[in-house]
Amino acid sequence: MRYYLPEKPAIEEMHRIHVEKGHLGIVKTIQHFSIKYCATNQNQLAIDLVNGCDICKRAKKQIRKYGEIGQMEPTRSWTALAKEAITEYKHTIHSSTGYTPSFLLDGSDPDEIYQDVDLVQARKLAFNTSQAAHKISKERIERKHKVLQLKEGDLVYENLTDESNKEKLESVFSGPFEITNKISEIIYEIKLPNKIERVHIGKLKPYQPPIISEN
């Protein structure tokens, strides 16, 4: 259940969320606000709020002036920093579930954003939402990367190079080599000159016999 807020209270609540959460960006501010509230033109309110934040303006100005912040030595122990990072992660809303990990795990809700939410139903909804996000991601990857259909006896090229040490004009693939065994849909055994090697399908490319011109 969400509550409708008039413009002024909505701006005040967005400002509280924006500041207390560490000066979130526009999208994150809207996401946190939308968990419990709704308002007329709330997206535009968030845009105006974030773009008008003096601290955010100064931060962006410093980045433009000096460039991205490089690696710095921490003023506190890594243990303390790691603990804070884990805590913040647990209390951050994940886009794939719509909930914080801490709430889904044990019902912990320090920000009181899920007061009227049933934990069991939230877990079911989070699971379904996560599965849907996984499906969309899988379909997007499969559209870009065509799955190879290889079988025992096929000839393939293998990527044997180390990208970090590859010379500029060095050939990327070597072969062809014969597939001697199909372990799974993604793992194959190929016959190299001196050994049999198990290879991930991502490093293989089907052999194409050279085209011989009759002229």
Parent domain of 22: 1-72
Structural domain contains residue 95: yes
Verify that 28 and 68 share a domain, yes or no. Answer: yes
Q: Could you please report the per-residue DSSP string of 85-103?
A: HHHHHHTSPPTTTSS-HHH
What's the total number of domains in the chain?
3
Indicate whether 91 belongs to any domain. yes
Q: Are residues 44 and 5 in the same domain?
A: yes
pLDDT above 90 as % of the chain: 11
> Where do we find the tokens 């913040």?
88
Q: How does pLDDT run across 97-125, given as a tens digit for each residue?
A: 888 899 999 888 887 888 888 999 999 99
Q: How high is the pLDDT of residue 184?
A: 85
pLDDT of 58: 65
On whether both 47 and 10 belong to a single domain, the answer is yes
Same domain, 66 and 4: yes
Residue 132, SS3? helix
Least confident interval from 40-54, 92-106, 158-172? 158-172
Q: Does residue 123 lie in a domain region?
A: yes
Among 25, 57, 72, where does a domain finish? 72
Quick one: 19 and 78 in the same domain?
no
pLDDT in tens, 165-197: 455 556 678 889 999 998 888 889 999 888 899
Are both 60 and 127 inside the same structural domain?
A: no
Q: Give yes or no: residues 79 and 67 share one domain.
A: no
Beta partners for residue 197, in sequence order: 190
The strand order across the sheet containing 196-200 reads 196-200, 187-191, 173-182, 155-159, 204-206
CATH number at residue 162: 2.30.30
Domain membership of residue 211 (yes or no) is no
Q: What share of the chain is helix, strand, coil (3-state, %, to 5)?
A: 45, 15, 40
Q: Using the 3D structure, point to which of 29, 48, 72 is the last residue of a domain.
A: 72
Is the pLDDT confidence value at 202 over 70? Answer: yes
Q: Check whether residue 85 and residue 128 sit in a common domain.
A: yes
pTM (global) more than 0.85: no
SS3 assignment, position 204: strand
Name the band, by pLDDT with cuts 50, 70 and 90, for residue 60. Answer: low
Residue 115 and residue 165 in one domain: no
Last residue of a domain, one of 123, 145, 167: 145
Residue 213 lies in a domain: no
